[in-house]
A and B are shown apart, each in its own frame.
Chain A
Amino acid sequence: REKRLTLPPSEITLL
């Protein structure tokens, strides 16, 4: 849970 919160946000890609 802790680890999950420290993960970075993702970029967004338009397809």
Chain B
Amino acid sequence: PGLLEPTSCLIRVSKTAPTLGIAIEGGANTRQPLPRIVTIQRGGSAHNCGKLKVGHVILEVNGTGLRGKEHREAARIIAEAFKLKEKDYIDFLVTEFN
């Protein structure tokens, strides 16, 4: 469904560092209903990728939609995608608009 978002963009982040290195805020039942990136830490995989930006709103993680997911659940989905050994990357579908 996220593919229908007109302004969305798929970003593949390779696991090039021991951490992903993003901070997110938001989730269902908060003022920010989808997780938004608020920090990108230097030296993390996201920073090394160079394409994820502060302000990006995350619509999907490896094809799993985050709409309707509360903050902790969304954070868990992202953390598990990073831990998953079978994949050396995470695909984020993001949009710059809320």
Contact = CB atoms under 8 A, between A and B. Distances in A.
Contact of B30 (A5, A10, A13): A10
- Which among A5, A8, A15 has the highest number of chain B CB atoms within 10 Å? A15
Contact of B31 (A8, A12, A13, A14): A8
Interface residues of A, number: 11
Contact of A13 (B21, B41, B71): B71
Contacts of A7: 29-31
B14 to A, nearest CB: 16
Interface of B: 19-27, 29-32, 38-39, 41, 71-72, 75, 78-79, 82
Interface of A: 4-5, 7-15
